[in-house]
Amino acid sequence: MFDSVIIGAGVAGSVAARELAESGRSVLVLEQRDHIGGNCYDEPDEHGILIHKYGPHIFHTKEKKAYDYLSRFTDWYAFGHEVVANVYGKLIPVPFNLNTLHMVYEKEKADTLEKKLIETFGMGSRVPILKLREQEDPEIRQIADYVYENIFLHYTMKQWGQTPEEIDPAVTGRVPVVISYDNRYFQEPWQGMPLHGYTPMFEKMLDHPKIRVETGVDARSRIRFEEDQVILDGEPFCGEVIYTGPVDELFNCCFGRLPYRSLRFDFEYLDQKDYQGHSVVNYTVSEDFTRITEFKYLTGQKAPGTTIVREYPFAYTGAEGEIPYYSIANEANQALYEKYRALTEKIPNVWLLGRLAEYKYYNIDAMVMKALELTEKIKQEV
């Protein structure tokens, strides 16, 4: 009945389903949640505010191919995402840039430091704080220390549940200081939000006569992976299967559970026009949550009230209701992932795609590109 089965209807699964359907295949999409769109899913709350149920997602890319592909299914609300950090009650732009510099230091010192940064690194450059710390000039090194202490350290400890000693120095080294007056968090040429929301975009993507979507379905109740074949609804299935879920759960965590960080979202509606004046405020030195998002500033929606959400990171345990969001990259976890990946290689025509299946972080644009790459490979193999 079906040529292809895709498990998961997020970015990876939806793009793959559309591509395979347009190649003439009949595609079955099985989605465990009661909705499509994965973590990008959005919906109006009871007050009519369009919210992102699983935290804010902002599209940004330098890949025109990814932008053009999604543009087939949505128009765009142009949105240059800006983030500020609440540092002891003062809101400063992040990443740390020349505007931040002038907010942190008094004018004479800020002017001197700005001149040194531009002369040393050039206007428009993004300089890792590790590189700043290597400079002979103590004042430039001082900037790196400020960024580390006030923007990076405590926020990272909350986000990843690590002590300062456990934080990988390589991660610290990637934290940038931007030699620019551009407050935008992303610098890519294409960035914004789907004009009417992510969910309508995915609905259009999956609206194809060759695609059948079933939500609220645990794929394990329909499909079984044996050593050398796939069983679908009790019968051998010879088509391709693209799996986008947690790869360890595909095999009942037989080697142990892959570690992830999860998030708890506390939503709050406020009967006031504005709460924080910004789309996202990071709490880098205080509070036990990492950030507050105010959705009206993401979408440009006009409404008399406003909805915010606070994010609380915690260690994923696999308990009911918990969602794995961020893989924890280290050698031991990668070795464990490879053991699970090796099991899938024994089963013909099974492909792993996405953050959970590949135990790797992807932005939306990168996930689109990866799905297009995989489906092109599948089509060429026939």
171 contacts: CB under 8 Å, gap ≥ 6: 156
Say if residue 247 is in the same domain as residue 281.
no
Say if residue 142 is in the same domain as residue 214.
no
Say if residue 239 is in the same domain as residue 366.
yes
Look at residue 253 and tell me if it is in a domain.
yes
Mean pLDDT of 130-134: 88
Say if residue 293 is in the same domain as residue 275.
yes
CA 349, 355, 358, 359: dihedral to nearest 10 degrees? -150
Q: Is the pLDDT of residue 241 over 70?
A: yes
Question: Tell me, what's the pLDDT at 169?
Answer: 72
Look at residue 185 and tell me if it is in a domain.
no
Q: Is the pLDDT of residue 279 over 70?
A: yes
Residue with the bigger pLDDT between 369 and 175: it is 369
Mean pLDDT of 10-37: 98
Q: Is the pLDDT of residue 27 over 80?
A: yes
Instruction: Report the share of the chain in percent with pLDDT over 90.
Output: 90
Give how many domains the chain has, as a whole number.
3
Question: Tell me, what's the pLDDT at 164?
Answer: 77
Look at residue 184 and tell me if it is in a domain.
no
Look at residue 44 and tell me if it is in a domain.
yes
Look at residue 222 and tell me if it is in a domain.
yes
pLDDT tens digits, one per residue of 31-66:
999 999 999 999 999 999 999 999 999 999 999 999
State which residues form the domain around 251: 4-76+194-258+327-381
Mean pLDDT of 7-35: 98
Q: With beta carbons less than 8 A apart as the criterion, state whether 39 and 55 touch.
A: yes
Look at residue 320 and tell me if it is in a domain.
no
Say if residue 109 is in the same domain as residue 213.
no
Question: Tell me, what's the pLDDT at 26?
Answer: 98
**Residue whose pair of structure tokens reads 């942190």 in the numeric block:** 104
Question: Tell me, what's the pLDDT at 83?
Answer: 95
pLDDT tens digits, one per residue of 134-161:
899 999 999 999 999 999 999 999 999 9
Question: Tell me, what's the pLDDT at 322?
Answer: 96
Say if residue 147 is in the same domain as residue 286.
no
Say if residue 106 is in the same domain as residue 170.
yes
Mean pLDDT of 364-371: 98
Is residue 95 reached through a cis peptide bond, with omega within 30 degrees of 0 on the bond before it? Answer: yes
Q: With beta carbons less than 8 A apart as the criterion, state whether 290 and 94 touch.
A: no
What is the enclosing helix (H) or strand (E) of 76?
Answer: strand 76-78
Say if residue 63 is in the same domain as residue 87.
no
Question: In angstroms, how far is CA 130 from the centroid of its own chain?
Answer: 25
pLDDT tens digits, one per residue of 312-327:
999 999 999 999 999 9
Instruction: Report the share of the chain in percent with pLDDT over 70.
Output: 99
Which residue among 178, 207, 240 closes a domain? Answer: 178
Look at residue 150 and tell me if it is in a domain.
yes
Tell how many helices (H) and how many strands (E) occur in the chain: 13, 22
Q: Is the pLDDT of residue 381 over 90?
A: no
Question: Tell me, what's the pLDDT at 41?
Answer: 98
**Distance separating the N- and C-terminal Cα atoms of the chain:** 18
Which residue among 178, 210, 228 closes a domain? Answer: 178
Q: Is the pLDDT of residue 382 over 70?
A: no
Residue with the bigger pLDDT between 174 and 257: it is 257
Mean pLDDT of 16-29: 98
Say if residue 248 is in the same domain as residue 333.
yes
Q: With beta carbons less than 8 A apart as the criterion, state whether 348 and 304 touch.
A: no
Mean pLDDT of 243-249: 96
The confidence band for 170, taking pLDDT boundaries of 50, 70 and 90, is: low
Say if residue 215 is in the same domain as residue 337.
yes
pLDDT tens digits, one per residue of 178-210:
999 999 999 899 999 999 999 999 999 999 999
Q: What angle, 0 to 180 degrees and rounded to 10, lies between the N-to-C axes of helices 138-147 and 107-121?
A: 100
Say if residue 216 is in the same domain as residue 343.
yes
Which residue among 128, 149, 178 closes a domain? Answer: 178
Domain at 8, CATH number: 3.40.50.720
Say if residue 293 is in the same domain as residue 371.
no
Look at residue 322 and tell me if it is in a domain.
no
